[in-house]
Structure 1
Amino acid sequence: MKNLQNLPIGKSSFESIRENNDLYVDKTQHIFNLVSQGMYYFLSRPRRFGKSLTISTLRCLFQGKKELFKGLWIDENTDWEWKEHPVILLDFNGISHDTPENLKISLQRSLEKSAELYNLISDAPLLKNQFKELIISLNKKTGMPVVILIDEYDKPIIDHLGKGEKALETAKANRDILKSFFGVIKEGEVSDVLRFVFITGVSKFSRISIFSELNNLKDLTMTEDYADMLGCTQKELETCFAPYFSGFAQKQKMTEPDLLEKLRQHYNGYRFSVRDARVYNPFSILNAVDEKNFNNYWFETGTPTFLVNLLHENNWYLPSIENMEATEALFSVYEIERLQPEAILFQTGYVTIKDIDEGLYTFDYPNREVKTSFSENLFYSYFRGQKDVSRFILLSKYLRLGDMETFIEIMKGIYASIPYTIESKRDEAYFHTIFYLMVSASGIDARSEILTCKGRIDLVIEFSDKLYIIEFKCNQTAKAGIEQIRQKGYAEPYRQTGKKIILMGINFDTEKRNISEWKTEEI
């Protein structure tokens, strides 16, 4: 398998993969269902999730490049007519949008390039008219209905969020330009000559703000039938990637079943609909198999600064991310003027659907890669450049060894290094947040705010042979924490695990701004 980062330049991603790679997860059944059952579609997914590859696949399909689909589901199971259609591809990854004026100019240039491919020249003075003229002219010249593919439509908006008032005004102006531009697609003279429209993005802004004039789009974002169209299912992993497991397991010095379980924990877990169809992040799993290693591939490609800033601005209780609850109306769309952390966390891929109960959605981190990396990112955001806090990475080691003295000393050292000027309200929630971020960022399997029939457990940390049940107190005693664990029976659900159970009470002193006392008991 060739590294997907080093494919030939000048070809679409689908062409390059089919011609230069021996590994491809076949999603053409979904593609066929799309093109044969409807016409106008919208799909949002997190970055690096295969949106651009889907656009590329659709482009090659409508260009009639049958040879690229040989052996795939659509070629072997359908009577698809491999007719060439004119295709307009607008990839907003390559369209300038630093100012509204440059967005218009860059869009016009993209339309001109599409026209040049078919030896057409546009002299329309306005952006909307140029777009409309191009669509109609392509239909007249080729005699075929036109296909419009738009990738990362929201980039001119989200790239300006969280960067101050001036940038926010740019985002709003760009939004208005896009709203007017996309409205062309719905016009009667244009819609009559269209074959297919597909729009992708990371975010899902409401129809009112972006697609009010294009109100016939079918939103696939949370549609059950397309929940696993992007991403890799467990079955696809175990079949398509099977030839690579032996070498991977050998390098990692583990059995193949253990390798599969570790891959699942690190990269699987994304859920996008009521149907519980979990998928792997394709970018991470491809890179992990290619390099035969476990790294945070997806997270390393970038975290939106505005998301971290938004969580701080809203004084978000970060441990609650794991059991965040919201209705679909709250997390499925967002607006520039009133950004909701729930919506951004879900749409950008930092949390995913955990459970659904009577219309109430519960969320959690999708996998270990996201939780560990995002916790580390948030943890460092509290310290703003402090250089002496990286010892948190050792916390996992000392907890695993049961060396509580060293574990607490590291904790105390990190708390002591937090500048007084950046501290928020020094209550139990504050100390709990820092503690939770430290242990999660170190790679520990830590679960916060676990609901029981008698209350909520502050923190559970689990290893293969032991688990810690931790209760935090503020200006009280560590013993009070232990007593609460016992009185409320927090340990009862874990007795059947066969693991050693360690109860731990930790008391924080708000004046000293640190851990003042800790106590453990083993049961």
Structure 2
Amino acid sequence: MIKFPYGISDFHLIRKEGYLYVDRSAFIPLLEDAGRQLLFLRPRRFGKSLLLSMLANYYDVRTTDAFSLLFGDLAIGQQPTAEHNQYLILRWDFSKVSAQGDIEQIKSSLFVHLNIAIQEFSLRYKSLLNHPVKVNGTDALGSFQSLLNMAQDSGYPVYLLIDEYDNFANDVLMQDASDERRYRNLLEGEGILKTLFKIVKASASEGKIARVFITGVSPVVLSDMTSGYNVATSIYLEPRFNELCGLTQEELIPLTRQVLTECGQDTTEQTNMLETLRQFYNGYRFCHRTEHPLVYNPTLCLYFLRHYQLESEPPRQILDGNLAMDAGRMRYITALPNGHCVIEQIMDDEHPVSVQALEIQFGVEKLREVQQDSRYLLSLMYFFGILTIHAISGLGNLVLGVPNLVIRALYVERLKRHALPRPQDDQLAEKLAEQFYQTADLQPLADFMEQKYFAVFSNRDYCWSNELTVKTAFLTLLFNDIWYIMDSETALQRRYSDLVMVIRPSMRHYATLKDFIFEFKYLKLDELKLTGEQLRGKSRAELEAMPQVQQALRDALSQLRQYRPVLEKKYQQPERLECLAVVALGFERVVWQVLSA
């Protein structure tokens, strides 16, 4: 059976104990040619730590005897570069640094981490160093400089690997978006993080550090350090490194086939498995060249495949808890000026957002300008992994979009929290949605929409109201990734105003669940020549009798008649398919009708 290294980023352990390793060693010569101080950015849980561990084992002078075991059957093992096993490796992982407390407490946590890494270095290379490293418990910067001096005296070059360089600084920034003082104290003037990177920069210039490889999530922290560390070569948008981290469809196909074989299942199930993985975990592109393959989130893929291997079925909860921290990124985004409006704009699939280029030289100061220019916020969302490059426009702009349904769920959750801040309303909405999945009776949910959901919309929302707004409102109430694949646009080659809810393949055995196609129409109050108060005073029968409403329903039902045969043919269960026409009258009332068979 495949041993999936879920939650394991130790390359030596993975190779020694026979865990699955998707070979990325062929990139080593490209990385050597790219520069001596490299910056590589990817979203969380994308395999950056494993990449650094692979590089550490490849370059470490102490792993020479294990080279054949670790790399013999990998691409680099056939043609190793001249630099393999030539370095003393110093590794820092800033995800281990606490962002809690005041600036002195954060500094103390950073110094503890640095000193532990320096002590480990000293012990590992004790036999190779002419003199011991002097570790100063209160001054880790002094300890670091002692290490570099002792390494230089020994004649061995140092390779510095820094994982998640911006992790604790980002945490400081996002704990309270309205209070940037602690963040600035880390990075500006003689801030401790800026000072540390100034030493790295100077030491590399002096030849005390031969190579540096830095991973992180965004360039914000580096930009805010300005001259503190402005010498790194940024490789994170280069097409040749698009697949340096993550998994491709080509790599997943044999894995899914083998897992099905191990479970004793027919490989015809592979189509459903691959479609589920694609809908929920695929969709990332890290360069402007659209001919490069889309990349899957590797952590979520391993979570899915390991669960399937153990239980012979996909996980019920499609979102692994390891990605839950990304919800904090989304909360931070919505707290920024204009952040909530940008999220609503992103949900408009018919009019996708685009930028001429991703902003890579911007700090926290620029994020304040999103009310005038959303490029900085959109770029930050790209680096966080909650937006990705979907396409290139006719003018060469980068068209951005939500990567997959797992990330779309984060957007939906933020919009739902905005509309339904009271937990009891949220719980009632979930209960009504579960009833609807089984009965196709939309009326209780429509009543809830009128009484609770529409009440939170402001006058600004009225100005921007359209079919998309109505679709988004229903999407937030009905979104459920346990039972459904939501908004499957390729299934119908449809217009974007529709909402499609298709039962997940692994959930189709629940006989009471139904598939749904929605067609939404929106009528403005001035079209109806009625006020909101007048609409609220009319019965549902009176609303349905209005000529404008009847015409909107006819138009919606006509479109549904075109869509229904596609899903009936695809899933071969026409008796489970419900087609609903929904007409919103301002943000006051909802009228709906089922397309008869």
Give 2:156's aligned amino acid: M
1:372 is displaced (CA, Å) by 3.0
The residue number in structure 1 matching 2:106 is 103
Distance change (3 Å), C-alpha of 1:387 and 1:398? closer
More deviation, 478-487/330-339: 478-487
- Contact 2:224/2:362 (CA < 8 Å) preserved in 1? no
1:446 is the counterpart of 2:487: yes
Deviation string, structure 1 residues 65-111 (Cα, Å, up to 9, x no partner)? 21322311111233545424212211111123333223333333334
The 5 Å alignment of 1:382-461 reads 382-390=419-427, 404=440, 406-414=441-449, 416-418=451-453, 423-425=457-459, 427=462, 428=465, 433-441=472-480, 443-446=484-487, 458-461=497-500
1:318-357 → structure 2 map (5 Å cutoff): 318-322=343-347, 323=349, 324-327=352-355, 329=357, 332=360, 334-339=362-367, 340-357=376-393
Q: Any gaps of 5 or more consecutive residues in structure 2?
A: 123-131, 309-313, 368-375, 504-514, 529-542, 569-577
Tell me, which stretches of 5 or more residues in structure 1 are unaligned? none
Q: Is 435-444 or 288-297 further displaced after alignment?
A: 435-444
Q: Which residue of 1 aligns with 2:209?
A: 194
Matches within 5 A, 1:220-235: 220-235=235-250
SS in 2 for 1:283: helix
Residues 328 and 175 (structure 1 numbering): CA distance in 2 closer, same or farther, change over 3 Å? farther
State whether residues 92 and 150 of structure 1, in contact with CA within 8 Å, keep that contact through their aligned partners in structure 2: yes
**Residue pairs, 1:177-326, within 5 angstroms:** 177=191, 178-187=193-202, 190-205=205-220, 208-240=223-255, 242-247=257-262, 250=265, 255-276=269-290, 277-292=293-308, 293-294=314-315, 295-297=318-320, 300-305=323-328, 307-311=330-334, 314=338, 315-316=340-341, 318-322=343-347, 323=349, 324-326=352-354
Contact 1:474 / 1:509 at 8 angstroms: preserved in 2?
Answer: yes
**Bigger mean CA deviation after superposition, 221-230 or 330-339:** 330-339
Correspondent of 2:147 among 105, 115, 134: 134
Contact 1:163 1:306 survives alignment (8 Å) = no
- Amino acid across the alignment from 2:331: V
Q: So what's the TM-score if we normalise by structure 1?
A: 0.82
Tell me the amino acid that sits aligned with residue 445 of structure 1.
Answer: M
Post-superposition shift, 1:382?
3.2
The answer to whether residue 162 in structure 2 is matched with residue 150 in structure 1 is: yes
For residue 367 of structure 1, the aligned residue among 404, 422, 429 is 404
The amino acid across from 1:86 in the alignment is L
Amino acid at match of 2:258: P
Which residue number in structure 2 is paired with residue 87 of structure 1? Answer: 89
Contact in 2 for aligned 1:203/1:333 (Cα 8 Å):
no
Q: Which amino acid aligns with 2:227?
A: S
Q: Supply the distance in 1 between the matched residues of 2:559 and 2:206 (Cα, whole angstroms).
A: 63
Q: Greater share of helix residues, 1 or 2?
A: 2
Contact 1:115 1:122 in 2 (8 A): yes
Distance 2:343 2:566 in 1: 31
Cα distance in 2 for partners of 1:492, 1:387 equals 34
Pick closer, same or farther for the CA change 1:188–1:444 going to 2, 3 Å.
closer
Q: CA separation in 2, counterparts of 1:338 and 1:316?
A: 18
- Measured against aligned partners, the alpha-carbon deviations of 1:146-191 in whole angstroms (never above 9, x if no partner) come to 1111111112221123443674211111223323321223326744
Number of the residue aligned with 2:372? none
Query: In the alignment, is residue 70 of structure 1 matched against residue 75 of structure 2?
Result: no
Q: Report the TM-score, using the length of structure 2 for normalisation.
A: 0.73
More displaced, 157-166 or 191-200? Answer: 157-166
Q: 2:127 aligned with 1:53, yes or no?
A: no
CA–CA separation in structure 2 for the residues paired with 1:258 and 1:332:
38
State the match for 1:164 in structure 2. 176
What is the Cα deviation at residue 133 of structure 1? 3.9
Which has the larger strand fraction? 1
1:517 aligns with 2:563: no
**Which residue type is aligned with residue 303 of structure 1?**
D
CA contact (8 A) 1:457 1:470 kept: no
Q: Distance in 2 between matches of 1:19 and 1:349?
A: 32
For this pair of structures, how many residues does the alignment match? Answer: 506
Deviation at 1:379, TM superposition (A): 1.6
What letter corresponds to residue 210 of structure 2 in structure 1? R
What whole-Å deviation, never above 9, does each CA across 1:244-299 have from its counterpart, x for those lacking one?
13346839x97122222222222111111112321110100001110112421166
Structure-1 separation of matches of 2:208 and 2:300: 40
Q: Rg: which structure is higher?
A: 2
